[in-house]
Amino acid sequence: MEWLFYILKVSACLALFYGFYHFFLQKLTFFRENRCYLLLALLMSFLIPLLSIEMERQVQPLSLPGDQSVVALVGEYDPSGDGSAEHLNPLPSTAGHGYNWSKMILVTYWLSCVVLALKLLANVFAVLKAAKEYRKVGRLKVIYKKEGYTNCSFFNYVFVDRESLSGMEIEILLQHEKIHALSWHSLDKILMTACKIFLWFNPLIYLYDKALEQVHEYEADRETSIRTGGHSYANLLLKMAIDKNTTHLLHYLVKSPVKDRIKMLFTKPSNHMKKFIYVAVLPLMALLMSSFSLKYMDKVVGLEKLSEASVKAFQDSIRYKQKIQQQPGEKREAAKILKWRSGRLYKENLVLSRQISGKALRGVVKEESTLFQKRGFLFESGKRTYLLDVAGLTENRLRKGDAILVEVDVAGVSNKSDYVVLSPGKITRNGETVFLKKKTLPAPFLYEANKVRFTDGVITAVNQKVGGDKELAIEANGYTFKLELRADQVLKESRVSLVKGDQIRLRFVHELKTGDKSYFIKDWVAISKDIKSYGMMNRNLFDRFYEKLHERRAATGKLIQKEVLTLPDFQDKGIRYSAHDSTKYSQDKNTIYLYEQASAQSGDVLVSASEIVINAKTKTGWAKNALVRKSGETTEKFYPSAELKFSDGFHKGAQKKLEP
């Protein structure tokens, strides 16, 4: 789809260039200059949309009342609230469902291009085949023939029907075609035909082709009439009629309108002062380049260090939670899961899953399980039984009683099984590999519980448009996302500055797949520079998916505070961490994000949680649904939401010791 957008921009450039020629240059007798204009304008039409000229401009930061200099994060994401994002098992994109019109348009366009390209090649081969036998007359190679294309030329090949012309008329014809050959007009024709292949759907390209061919004939007519006499040459043009069997690549003596050509023969030469008209095309080029090539880079000026008041404003900012509409059955299922998570078996299995993730277990296959649609096996190792989830492994590969070695990729828990579930990376039996986990490509985006899509990436381009609107390009997980950010969509109090290079989280709905790894976002919901905030909000969509989160109060009327966990310093031994879903870093490498079945161990303390964030610069962190255990102890303490603080903080160079 990006290619089609480019072709549409080319068509827009071509329309303006042709309009300038039609109204200001067409009637001038500067034929050589007109030819140069048409060729250069054609090339510039294809080149301008490809150019990228970056200009830096200064913008003021967001102004807030009082002492609040900047609050870049408005609306803190409450990780302990209801409806938290599910990072595991992303749903497939809905963009691929239904009829893919963009793909159909693209296929139709390229098929038409291929057909026209084959037609061009066929015409070239036909002309070269007909030109095998020729007589050389000066620089020209003359082919005498009665049928097909006659009285025309292709480069220095001239096809003549000598039975329909007298000797004098043949000399005039050869003189005319010699001008075409020496001026390389056939090369212009090939270039024009190639452009028509890519712009076959645009009627202007055919008018442009006609204008270029007309300039060729005007130029050849003028030179020929000077040598043979204007009246004699005009009489020959009137006498001859074009053959019906024509090929577009050839120059025919009387293919262009004879009336216009004879009129131009006797037109008084234009005043040389009118050549200044060509200079007027420069503002037109500047307009096109500012529309299609100029990219504005915002540079925020006047930013000062956040004051204590602005920090407090951030801490006191409004918080939101996702709006989730649950059916009665879904509510009952959610209640069952909460009850299951509060049980002893869940907590014991969760601790065990943390211990064996990434380890190798040797044991025996007990029997097949039907929990995962005949892809699971009960597996016994060290007096414990596990559920082995092996997608793609046929029944015949494993049998009851087989002694196997399982290299555990990830271990987890399921409310549908009393056993810890093993997702193996590799299984071997008697030294033979019977299962090897396939590498999975990263998903372009994930889903929150309210069906809002989200992805974390970096802004690669900001294109400023008229009226304060912007076009953003974002790279995330190897995919490209493009969206139009209209000024009237942004909630005023949430407005922030977005510049190239910013790390952001993009929340959106209604994406359109435009390529294998590219999307156009039709409706953005929120754009933030931190995963714990919603940042800039779409005033038309944000309230449909999120609602303000009211602080829960205890019986005494005091706010329930988040737990603060103080962890030992890891200056000497570093910190070990892992995550099931993904591990990401901020652009400055100061912050690490761990998603789904995350764990971080500092000293003798192990923190296991659904999400963990650690910031090396602020010497703090955050964990959601955290289980905390010290080495040598079997009991764990559960925290729905906890702030992490390290006793002596992160020391210089300590981050180099982070090791997965």
Give tens-digit pLDDT for 536-561.
Answer: 999 889 988 888 765 444 333 433 44
Could you tell me the pLDDT band of residue 188, with boundaries at 50, 70 and 90?
very high
Q: Please state which of the ranges 42-46, 144-148, 202-206 shows the lowest mean pLDDT.
A: 144-148
SS3 511: strand
Euclidean distance between CA atoms 232 and 11, whole angstroms: 42
All residues at 6 or more sequence positions from 239 whose CB lies less than 8 Å from its CB, including other chains: 169
Q: Answer for the pair 91, 331: CB distance below 8 angstroms, yes or no.
A: no
State yes or no: pLDDT of 371 exceeds 80: no
d(Cα 604, Cα 630) in Å, to the nearest integer? 6
Give the tens place of pLDDT for each residue, 391-449.
655 545 788 889 999 999 888 888 888 899 988 989 999 888 888 887 777 789 988 87
Residue listed under structure tokens 């271990």: 411
Smallest Cα–Cα separation from 251: which of 281, 302, 214? Answer: 214
Q: Could you give the maximum distance between any two Cα atoms of the chain, in Å? A: 116
The three-state secondary structure class of 493 is helix
Instruction: Assess contact for 307 and 69: CB atoms under 8 A.
Output: yes
Q: Which residue from 581, 563, 649, 640 is spatially nearest to 614, judged by alpha carbons? A: 649
At 256 the pLDDT is 56
Cα 641 off chain centre by? 36
Query: Model confidence at 570, in pLDDT bands (50, 70, 90)?
Result: low
Distance CA 409, CA 421 (A): 11
Which of 110-114, 618-622, 637-641 holds the top average pLDDT? 110-114
Which pLDDT score, from 0 to 100, does residue 41 have?
95
Q: Write down the pLDDT at residue 647.
A: 64
Short-list 87, 550, 110, 83, CA closest to 325: 83
Does position 281 have pLDDT exceeding 70, yes or no?
yes
Question: Given this model, what pLDDT does residue 415 score?
Answer: 82
Choose from 42-56, 173-187, 611-625 the range with maximum mean pLDDT. Answer: 173-187
pLDDT tens by residue, 114-128: 999 999 999 888 888
pLDDT of residue 112: 93
> Is a pLDDT exceeding 90 seen at residue 211?
yes
Encode pLDDT of 302-317 as tens digits: 434 433 444 344 444 4
Highest mean pLDDT: which range of 68-82, 133-147, 566-580, 644-658: 133-147
Cα(382)–Cα(406) distance, rounded to whole angstroms? 13
pLDDT for the residue 81: 37
pTM for this model (two decimals): 0.45
Q: How confident is the model at residue 10 (pLDDT cuts 50, 70, 90)?
A: very high
Position 521 scores a pLDDT of: 92
Instruction: Report pLDDT for 657.
Output: 35
3-state secondary structure 541-581: CHHHHEEECCCCECCCCCECCCEEEEECCCCCCCEEEECCC
Assess contact for 315 and 480: CB atoms under 8 A: no
Q: How confident is the model at residue 454 (pLDDT cuts 50, 70, 90)?
A: very high
If phi over 0 gives left and psi between -120 and 50 gives alpha, with beta otherwise, what is residue 557? left
Q: Flag whether pLDDT at 478 surpasses 80.
A: yes
**Domains, in order of start, for the chain:** 2-51+102-286 (no CATH), 328-436 (2.40.50.140), 449-548 (2.40.50), 563-657 (2.60.450.10)
The whole-chain average pLDDT of the chain stands at 77
- What are the residues whose beta carbons fall under 8 Å from the beta carbon of 107, sequence distance 6 or more? none
Higher pLDDT among residues 396 and 330, named by residue: 330
383-398 residue pLDDT tens: 899 988 876 555 457 8
CA distance 313 to 64: 10
- Secondary structure element (H or E) that encloses residue 206, with its range: helix 203-228
Highest mean pLDDT range out of 299-308, 327-336, 619-628? 619-628
Q: Which residue has the higher pLDDT, 634 or 67?
A: 634
- State the Cα–Cα distance between residues 622 and 609, nearest whole angstrom: 10
The count of C-alpha atoms lying within 13 angstroms of the C-alpha of 469, restricted to the half-sphere facing its C-beta, is 10
Q: Which of 80-89, 313-322, 399-408 has the lowest mean pLDDT?
A: 80-89
* Residue 16 pLDDT: 95
What is the rounded CA–CA span in Å between residue 599 and residue 624? 11
pLDDT at 21: 94
Higher-confidence residue of 149 and 21: namely 21
Of 441, 437, 475, 481, which is closest to residue 458 (Cα–Cα)?
A: 475
Neighbouring C-alpha atoms within 13 Å toward the C-beta of 152: 25
Tell whether the model's pLDDT for residue 77 goes beyond 80: no
Q: Is the confidence at residue 328, as pLDDT, over 80?
A: no
Residue 199 burial (C-beta neighbours within 10 Å; 0-12, 13-18, 19+): buried
pLDDT at 165: 78
